[in-house]
């Protein structure tokens, strides 16, 4: 019998691929729902702490990336040193000002997946914590103001602003 080899990382051409972003969102809400269902409010707080720690570590890595480029960890260098590619599953416009950067997202795969699954409640545990924690890890003086959210406004807005004196 002849050996038949199949490339294991290739999906059939007639199937729609599922991105790693979609998989991450699905995994997050599945885990968050189980923890919250089992432990209630304490579970919600644990999930938030876990997201914060994850985000803070990412922020520290982003600061290291900025430093490797010879840049300060300030608002001007935050997004350009970011660790996550912006695939076409995200759409945003960045606007820079003196000591701040604003983002307007009109598409977010995480929010879309959370909504498709009817899991906005659990998705919010991620969305509320992740950007402020990444900014804090990057620089404790960089504050994240998250004014609009996909679940209520159909867009997401962020302002990353250095505290006065920075």
pLDDT at 14: 65
C-alpha 105/C-alpha 122 separation (Å) is 20
Structural domains in the chain plus CATH codes: 21-162 (3.90.1520)
Question: Tell me: the pLDDT tens digits for 52-87?
Answer: 999 999 999 999 999 999 999 999 999 999 998 878
As a whole number, mean pLDDT of residues 4-19 equals 68
pLDDT at 128: 95
Whether residue 104 contacts residue 19, with contact meaning beta carbons closer than 8 Å, is answered with no
**Model confidence, pTM:** 0.88
- Start-to-end CA distance of the chain, whole Å, equals 71
Q: Is the pLDDT of residue 166 over 50?
A: no
As a whole number, mean pLDDT of residues 133-149 equals 96
As given in the structure block, the two tokens for residue 119 are 């899991």
Q: Is the pLDDT of residue 9 over 70?
A: no
* Per-chain mean pLDDT for the chain: 92
């Amino acid at each position: 019998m002849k050996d038949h080899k199949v490339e294991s990382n290739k999906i059939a051409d007639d199937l729609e691929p599922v991105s790693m972003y979609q998989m991450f969102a699905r995994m997050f809400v599945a885990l968050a729902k189980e923890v919250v269902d089992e432990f209630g409010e304490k579970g919600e707080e644990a999930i938030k702490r876990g997201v914060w720690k994850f985000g803070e570590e990412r922020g520290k890595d982003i600061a290291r990336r900025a430093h490797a480029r010879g840049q300060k960890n300030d608002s001007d260098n935050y997004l350009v040193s970011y660790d996550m590619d912006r695939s076409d599953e995200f759409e945003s416009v960045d606007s820079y000002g003196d000591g701040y950067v604003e983002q307007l997202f009109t598409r977010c795969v995480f929010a879309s997946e959370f909504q498709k699954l009817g899991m906005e409640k659990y998705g919010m545990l991620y969305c509320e914590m992740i950007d402020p924690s990444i900014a804090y890890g990057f620089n404790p003086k960089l504050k994240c103001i998250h004014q609009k959210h996909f679940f209520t406004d159909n867009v997401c807005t962020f302002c990353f602003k250095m505290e006065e004196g920075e």
